[in-house]
Amino acid sequence: MDILIEKDDLLYKKIIEEYELNIKYIKYVKESSSLYIDTGKKVFLLENIDDTINHVISTAGIYEHLNNKGFYNLLRIYKTKNGKYYMLYDKKIYILLDYEHHKLDLSKYPDKAIRLLGRFHKKAVGYLPPSGGKCKSNWGKWIEKYIKESKLLKKYMNEVLNKEEKTEFEDIFLSECHMYIDRMDKAIEILKNNNYVQAIEDSMKRHQLCICDFKQSNLYIKDKKIYIKSLDKCKYDIVEKDIADFLEEMLKASPEMKLEELVRLISLYEKENKLSKNSVNIISAFIIYPSSYEKVCSRYYKGKDKWDDKEYISKLNEARLFDNKKMELFICLNYKK
C-alpha cells in the first residue's frame, strides 16, 4: 500500500519551498525514506542520502565536472531555488533527481557499456571537489586489503586444523582453502610485479575518478543510449579496478558469453581511453582474487549472519562457482596477451 504525504505535512511544504514545484502528490518509495514526487507532467525522485553533506557536495561537484566536460549520460540532479544540490530536513539529506523507470539488460549491450565506461574515465580526470566537498578514495587500498584478508584466511585455516571436532562447513573449507589462498597470494604478487604503486601515483597526479558501481542496477537505457543512475559511490581509484569489476558484472549478467568476447571488451575500452602497458596484468590480478569465497569464509568465522551450516555451505558453493569462473577468465586474459 502506498504511503502518501499530506499537503499540510511539514516535509511536503519544505519540498515546495526548496524546489518550487507544482505537486500533484508525494508518496514514499517502498521500504525506503526516499519519495516519489508527481507533478502531473513529470515524476521526480527525492532520494534520501545516508551520508555526510561533504560527500553530497562532492557528488554534485562530480555531476557538474562531467557536464562541463561534455559527458551527459547521467540522471539529472536538480538544484534548490538557492542553488544547492541538496535539501536538509529533519536531520536528513535529500537530493532531487529525475525518476527513471527504464532498466538495462547488460547482456545485450556489453560493447556500448564498456565504451561508456571508457568515456566516463576520460572525462572524469582532473576532478577536484568544490568547497565543502570531500571525495572518498580507494588509492592504495586494494593490495593492503588483499594482504590482510589472506593473512586472516590462513589464520582461520590453522584454527580449524587444530579443532578436534569440525563442522561440515569447516571440512569443506579445509579441503580446498589452499587453492583459494594461493589465488589471493597470486593476485598480490601480480600487483607488486606490475607497477601497481606507479598506477596509483599516476591516478593521483591525474585526479582519476572511478564509478565503483558500474553495474546493471546502476545503468539504464533510453533512446538507444546508456545512462548512469547514480554517482554516489564514485571515488578516486585506478581505472583498472572499474574495468575488472565490469568484467565480473558481465560474468553474472551474461554467463553464456564466451570468455574471449569478455577479453575483447578491453580493446573496445581503449578506443575511448588508452590504458598503460601494465593495465591488463593489473586487471587480471583483480580478476583472480577470490573475493566471493573470501567474503563467505570471513562472514562464517566472524559470525556476521544468523545462517545455519547448510545456508553457509550453499553460499560457499555459489562463491566457489563464481570465483572459479573468474579463474577461467584470468587464464583467458593471460593467454590473449
Question: 304-315, pLDDT tens digit by residue?
Answer: 778 889 999 999
CATH number at residue 84: 3.30.200.20
Together in a domain, 74 and 178: no
Q: Is there a domain that residue 131 lies in?
A: no
| C-alpha R_g of the chain | 23
CATH number at residue 306: 3.90.1200.10
- Residue-level pLDDT at 188: 98
Domain end marker among 101, 133, 156: 101
Give the pLDDT mean for 238-252.
97
Share above pLDDT 70 across residues of the chain, in percent, rounded to a whole number: 99
What lies within 8 Å, CB to CB, of 199 at 6+ separation is 238, 240, 276, 278, 279, 282
Sorting pLDDT into bands at 50, 70 and 90, what band is 1? low
- Residue-level pLDDT at 31: 73
- Residue-level pLDDT at 33: 82
Together in a domain, 205 and 89: no
Give me 127's grid cell. 576532478
Sorting pLDDT into bands at 50, 70 and 90, what band is 145? very high
Structural domain boundaries, residue 186 = 141-336
Contact status, residue 77 vs residue 95, Cβ threshold 8 Å: yes
Q: Is there a domain that residue 113 lies in?
A: no
Together in a domain, 95 and 176: no
Q: Is there a domain that residue 106 lies in?
A: no
- Using CA atoms, how far apart are residues 337 and 277, in angstroms rounded to an integer? 11
Q: Per-residue pLDDT tens for 18-75?
A: 999 999 999 988 877 889 999 999 999 999 999 999 999 999 999 999 999 999 999 9
Q: Is there a domain that residue 296 lies in?
A: yes
Give me 208's grid cell. 582519476
- Residue-level pLDDT at 312: 95
Contact status, residue 66 vs residue 124, Cβ threshold 8 Å: yes
Together in a domain, 62 and 163: no
Together in a domain, 75 and 213: no
Give the pLDDT mean for 104-131.
97
- Using CA atoms, how far apart are residues 99 and 92, in angstroms rounded to an integer? 20
Together in a domain, 192 and 289: yes
Together in a domain, 170 and 238: yes
Whether the pLDDT of residue 337 is over 60: the answer is: no
pTM assigned to the model: 0.94
The rounded mean pLDDT for the chain is: 94
- Residue-level pLDDT at 7: 86
**DSSP alpha helices (H): ranges in the chain?**
10-19, 53-68, 110-124, 141-161, 168-193, 196-206, 239-253, 259-270, 279-288, 291-302, 309-336
Together in a domain, 216 and 277: yes
- Using CA atoms, how far apart are residues 64 and 58, in angstroms rounded to an integer? 10
Contact status, residue 311 vs residue 201, Cβ threshold 8 Å: no
Indicate the number of domains in the chain: 2
- Residue-level pLDDT at 336: 58
Domain end marker among 48, 79, 101: 101
- Give the HSE-up count for residue 272: Cα atoms under 13 Å, Cβ half-sphere: 21
The per-residue b/e assignment along 241-256, b for 16 or more CB within 10 angstroms, e otherwise, is bbbbbbbbbbbebbee
